Amino acid sequence: MTKKNKIEKLIPFLDELFPQVGCELIYHKDYELVIAVMLSAQTTDASVNAVTPVLFSTYSSLEELANAKLEDVENIIHSIGLYKNKAKNVIGIAQVLLRDFNGVVPSDKDLLQTLPGVGNKTAGVVRAEFFKIPDLPVDTHILRISKRLGLANLEDDAYEVEMKLKKIIDEDRYIKTHHQLIHFGRYFCTARNPQCEKCKIKEICNKK
């Protein structure tokens, strides 16, 4: 079965399971989304949502964040993974946005990646979520699902998987499929105890 054939079976199942999905990170401003996505690396959205309301109420503007004390930011986000480095990035993102972009988050992917802690995946999420620009960033859930379903090779990294998915998924479905695959991996085809007995696409899955 070709990868395109597999996608043709997968998409209807995703639409059935998750007809209406979206980003689960809490944010109210463009820079809050950038920071929240950066913070979510190697931790859960729920963990990020537990600290960002405190962070953004303590520092209610980019200017306040840019001038925050590193130790204070660390104390607020200490419950999430890699908090020391992420605290530096929080302050750095605010400083770079003010210095280079007049306080406005850019939509260009290359420019987004000039922000501290922002790589290809984070930039893609910001573009898709905030600017509604078709993109299909790959997180750990999508990476795992793609390899289980044989849509990518086991040795592929996130960027390579992204490029392969974009070749077999229609561009107008990038954003929705991105969210659906995350939900699929987070709540159905989980890493340790996937719901294989309820799965309608078992015949295209490599998991034994």
pLDDT tens for 82-98 read 999 999 999 999 999 99
Q: Both ends of the chain: CA-CA distance in Å? A: 18
Classify burial at 131, counting beta carbons within 10 Å of its beta carbon; exposed 0-12, middle 13-18, buried 19 or more: middle
Portion of the chain with pLDDT greater than 90, in percent: 94
pLDDT, one tens digit per residue, over 51-72 is 999 999 999 999 999 999 999 9
pLDDT tens figures, 161-197:
999 999 999 999 999 999 999 999 999 999 999 999 9
What residue ranges do the domains of the chain occupy? 3-21+135-204, 30-129
The yes/no answer on whether domain 3-21+135-204 falls in CATH 1.10.10.10 is no
The reply to whether 30-129 shares the fold of 3-21+135-204 is: no
Half-sphere exposure (CA, 13 Å, Cβ side) for 156?
23
Active-site residue numbers?
121, 139
Does the structure show a pLDDT above 70 at 50?
yes
> 208: pLDDT confidence band, cut at 50, 70 and 90?
low
Q: Which architecture does CATH list for 30-129?
A: Orthogonal Bundle (1.10)
Contacts of residue 131, defined as CB under 8 A and 6 or more positions apart, other chains included, come to 107
